[in-house]
Amino acid sequence: MAPRKIIIDTDPGQDDAVAILLALASPDDLDVLGITAVAGNVPLPLTQKNARIVCELAGKPETKVFSGCDAPIARKLVTAEHVHGKTGLDGPSLPDPSMALQDQHAVDFIVETLRSEPEGTITLCPLGPLTNIATALQRAPDIAGRIQEIVLMGGAYFEVGNITPAAEFNIYVDPEAAKVVFACGAPITVMPLDVTHKALVTAERNNAFRALGSPVGVAVAEMTDFFERFDKEKYGSAGAPLHDPCVTAYLIQPELFTGRHINVEIETGSDLTLGMTVADWWGVTDRAPNATFMGDINADGFFSLLTERLARL
Ligand code: RIB
Ligand code: CA
């Protein structure tokens, strides 16, 4: 079967980096048409630079990286240096990129790709705030019906929020964008904190990354060593949650995940619950289902896939 054509929209971020590495390590499964950077964990100049750093770490400098929106569509940017460090990729010391950034704006690339590729053959994989995706949908509403699937990391239900008591970071940073995306009508699959908080990089799992002995394996272990301290302190968890790689793993082995096709709405009116994903997990409303919201993961299967694929780089 031909590899699935995807666009990764991202705000690297150590976990974004691992998601990108997993995708670039899997060319038989995934054809990465482009990586579009968005402001999120750190400002856009850093996320577009970090995306290129990761492509070069993967040995794939030919990957097309585009710079996108530098601020949410209707709010000031909120960043997460407290989690990811001031570079957004703290942990390993990786060289500045020598590969060029594409001249085309990320939003134009997304629109152009969806219009030029056959309908239903492009999957969008947002790993950060949904600003680029929503801007593309607002600028070109015709693309909604051409998207094969949107597989995103964001939101939470049983796990509640990680940036406020009610909201997960990606949705919280740009709730208006999330509202546009969840209303666009394209098939949506959501990897919320409910799942990603079960994908924890325990010491044993991180040692397996380090034991690869490759620059990629060591860099991933060093990223995780840095990235885990926030969650260990806050949740007392056994290791860093690998949020974004759940998106890539789903594209390669969907059977690792289980969830429900339900209605998910985004809170944009209340300051108290701004960015909350109101997931009708128990079907108590008559609101039409608009997303497959994942609730569980085969974590051992996830990590064996991830480690095996990282070993290929
Ligand atoms: O809440 C976790 C999400 O926010 C992840 O995508 C992480 O990279 C940050 O963007
Ligand atoms: Ca991210």
The pLDDT value recorded for residue 234 is 85
pLDDT in tens, 223-250: 999 988 888 888 888 899 999 999 999 9
pLDDT in tens, 73-112: 999 999 999 999 999 999 999 999 999 999 999 999 999 9
Domains of the chain from N-terminus onward: 4-310 (3.90.245.10)
Angle between helices 44-57 and 14-24 (to 10 degrees): 40
Residues with CB under 5 A from ligand 2 (ion): 11, 13, 16, 127-128, 244
| 251/135 Cα distance (integer angstroms) | 24
| 172/275 Cα distance (integer angstroms) | 4
pLDDT in tens, 17-26: 999 999 999 9
| 137/131 Cα distance (integer angstroms) | 10
* Helices marked H in the chain: 14-24, 44-57, 81-84, 106-116, 131-139, 169-173, 175-182, 193-196, 203-211, 215-235, 245-252, 299-310
The pLDDT value recorded for residue 233 is 86
The letter for the amino acid at 114 is L
> Tokens at residue 141, please?
């509403």
Distance 1 CA to ligand 1 centre (A): 31
Token match 């794939």: residue?
60
Q: Which of the listed residues 38, 227, 243 should we mutate to test ligand 1's pocket, taking the one with most ligand atoms within 8 A of CB? A: 243
Which ligand neighbours the alpha carbon of 173 most closely? 1
pLDDT for 311 beyond 90: yes
pLDDT for 290 beyond 90: yes
220: nearest Cα among 311, 107, 119: 311
**Mean pLDDT over each residue of the chain, to the nearest integer:** 97
The pLDDT value recorded for residue 232 is 86
pLDDT in tens, 113-161: 999 999 999 999 999 999 999 999 999 999 999 999 999 999 999 999 9
**Rounded average pLDDT over 281-299:** 98
| 42/48 Cα distance (integer angstroms) | 10
The pLDDT value recorded for residue 46 is 98
Distance 247 CA to ligand 2 centre (A): 11
**Rounded average pLDDT over 264-275:** 98
Task: State if residue 79 touches ligand 1 by the CB under 6 angstroms criterion.
Answer: no
| Spatial contact of 75 and 130, defined as CB atoms under 8 Å apart | no
| 311/216 Cα distance (integer angstroms) | 8
The pLDDT value recorded for residue 229 is 87
The pLDDT value recorded for residue 231 is 86
> Tokens at residue 156, please?
């939470």
Q: 174: how many CB neighbours lie within 10 A of its CB? A: 34
Element (H, E) at 123: strand 122-126
Token match 């059977």: residue?
255
| CA quadruple 207, 32, 37, 290: dihedral, nearest 10 | -100
Q: 286: how many CB neighbours lie within 10 A of its CB? A: 7
> Tokens at residue 240, please?
């860093």
The percentage of residues in the chain with a pLDDT greater than 70, rounded to a whole number, is: 100
**Could you identify the atom of ligand 1 that is nearest to the CA of residue 170?**
4
pTM over 0.95: yes
